[in-house]
């Protein structure tokens, strides 16, 4: 087997993660699902620290899907409480480490307590520049495209690719270079549908509560071995990188 490149040889600028497997982690241990979500918060803390150490500029995570409202009421309630508690505990540490928080998603349906927590976290970290952490909450990729189109219509603008790029929920950070999905499923589950047109995908069977810096490095090593062509051929890409004209 060929050796993979060093995981630090090519660090993605923008990493996105579908944090899947909390429920299965808890079930394997005969624990309530909310226990898995609590361990998932710990995994996110580790991952943020690892990304900071590796100079990742943007980390975007899928925390709560717009489809997750259909889950059992006690689980949804537990997730909301967990979010509020995590914000209270983690935001001061994140701010100290230079992390700026954003919460892309639909604010409709969220309680005033949750909304206030999200807004306070964004305001507290607004001037930080070390890394942007997007916590997508009550988010869906289809919702994102629809709300972007509505913005353009309201502004009297034509719906174009350029316009949608300017009005989607992650317009402030650009598209992900690498999307990691934990838990073994091989789909993106309505996450960043517009933004992932040329994103590299990495799927791991590791359940999210078990995700750590070593698993992140495996994803980065795999990413470093990819050839990102963005619609070009390999020969065109080589000429572009060398400064030669493909028409010479």
The domain locations on the chain are 14-241
Query: Two tokens at 96?
Result: 């100290």
Compute, in degrees rounded to 10, the torsion defined by CA atoms 126, 106, 83, 60.
Answer: -60
Which one of 3, 20, 22, 106 is the catalytic residue?
20
68 a catalytic residue: yes
- The per-residue pLDDT for 93 is 97
Q: Among residues 42, 68, 81, 106, which one is catalytic? A: 68
- pLDDT of 109 reads 87
- Spell out, as residue ranges, where the chain has pLDDT lower than 70: 1-9, 228-248
**Alpha-carbon 194 to chain mean position:** 13
What local confidence, expressed as pLDDT, does residue 238 receive?
54
pLDDT, position 196: 98
Sign of CA dihedral 223, 137, 196, 240: negative
The pLDDT of residue 70: 87
Give the strand order in the sheet containing 131-139.
99-102, 131-139, 58-65, 14-18, 178-181, 200-203
Distance CA 225, CA 10 (A): 9
What integer pLDDT is reported at residue 113 of this predicted model?
95
Mean pLDDT score of the chain:
92
Domain topology for 14-241:
Undecaprenyl pyrophosphate synthetase (3.40.1180)
Answer yes or no: pTM beyond 0.85: yes
d(C-alpha 112, C-alpha 107), whole Å: 10
């Amino acid at each position: 087997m060929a050796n993979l490149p060093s995981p630090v040889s090519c660090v993605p600028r923008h990493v996105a993660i579908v944090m899947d497997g909390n429920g299965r982690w808890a079930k394997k241990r005969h624990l309530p699902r909310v226990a898995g979500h609590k361990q998932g918060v710990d995994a996110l803390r580790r991952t943020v620290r690892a990304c900071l150490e590796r100079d990742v500029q943007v980390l975007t995570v899928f925390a709560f899907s717009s489809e997750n409202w259909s889950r059992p009421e006690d689980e949804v309630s537990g997730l909301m409480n967990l979010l509020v508690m995590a914000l209270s505990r983690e935001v001061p540490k994140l701010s100290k480490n230079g992390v700026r928080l954003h919460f892309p998603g639909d604010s409709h349906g969220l309680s005033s307590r949750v909304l206030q927590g999200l807004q306070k976290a964004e305001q507290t970290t607004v001037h930080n520049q070390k890394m942007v952490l997007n916590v997508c909450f009550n988010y869906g990729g289809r919702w994102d495209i629809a709300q972007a189109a509505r913005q353009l219509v309201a502004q009297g603008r034509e719906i174009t690719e350029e316009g949608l790029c300017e009005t989607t929920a992650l317009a402030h950070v650009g598209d992900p270079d690498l999307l990691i999905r934990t838990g073994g499923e091989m789909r993106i589950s309505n996450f960043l549908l517009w933004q992932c047109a040329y994103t590299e995908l990495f799927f791991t069977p590791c359940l999210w509560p078990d995700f750590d810096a070593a698993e992140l490095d495996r994803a980065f090593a795999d990413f470093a071995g990819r050839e990102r062509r963005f619609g070009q051929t390999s020969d065109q890409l080589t000429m572009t990188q060398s400064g030669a004209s493909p028409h010479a």
